[in-house]
Amino acid sequence: MCGRTACTLDPEEVSRASRYRTRGGQNRRPRWRDGDADKYRPSYNKSPQSCSPVLLSHRHFDKDAPVDQCVLAAMRWGLVPAWFQDSDPRTMKFSTNNCRSESLLHKKTFKDPFLKGQRCVVLADGFYEWRRQGKEKQPYFIYFPQTQTQTGPGEAGRDPGDGESREEEGEQEQWSGWRLLTIAGLFERWTPPGSEEPVYTYTVITVDAAPNLHSIHDRMPAVLDGEADVRRWLDFGEVKSLDALKLLQPTNLLTFHPVSSLVNNSRNNSPECLQPVDLQAKKEPTASSKMMRSWLNNSSTSKRSQEPGAEQGPATAQEPGAKADRGPSTAQEPGAKADRGPSTAQEPGAKADRGPGAKADRGPADSGPLHRWLQGSSKKPRLSVGTEELPGAS
Per-residue pLDDT 10s for the chain (394 aa) are 688 999 999 999 999 999 998 888 888 999 999 999 999 999 999 999 999 999 999 999 999 999 999 999 999 999 999 999 888 888 888 899 999 999 999 999 999 999 999 999 999 999 999 999 888 999 999 999 987 544 333 333 333 333 333 344 434 567 888 999 999 999 999 998 888 889 999 999 999 999 999 999 999 999 999 999 999 999 998 999 999 999 999 999 999 999 999 999 999 999 999 999 998 854 455 556 666 666 666 644 444 444 444 444 444 444 444 444 444 444 444 444 444 444 333 444 444 444 444 443 333 333 344 444 444 433 444 333 333 444 444 3
Region of 154 (left: φ > 0; alpha: ψ -120 to 50; beta: rest) is: left
Active-site residue, selected from the candidate residues 13, 129, 155, 388: 129
Which pLDDT belongs to residue 315? 41
Which pLDDT belongs to residue 288? 63
Which pLDDT belongs to residue 106? 94
Residue partners of 369: CB distance under 8 A and separation at least 6: 151, 152, 155, 295
Q: Which of 80, 60, 15, 24 is nearest to 389 (CA)?
A: 80
Burial of 378 (0-12, 13-18, 19+ CB in 10 A): exposed
Asked if 129 is an active-site residue, the reply is yes
CA dist 10 and 124 (Å) reads 12
Asked if 2 is an active-site residue, the reply is yes
Which pLDDT belongs to residue 176? 82
Which pLDDT belongs to residue 206? 97
Question: CA-CA distances (angstroms) from residue 72 to 42, 60, 118, 211?
Answer: 14, 11, 14, 32
Cβ(259)–Cβ(293) below 8 Å? no
Report the DSSP beta bridge partners of residue 220: 207
3-state secondary structure 259-294: ECHHHHCCCCCCHHHCCECCCCCCCCCCHHHHHHHH
Active-site residue, selected from the candidate residues 2, 51, 70, 99: 2
Cβ(187)–Cβ(118) below 8 Å? yes
Which pLDDT belongs to residue 35? 92
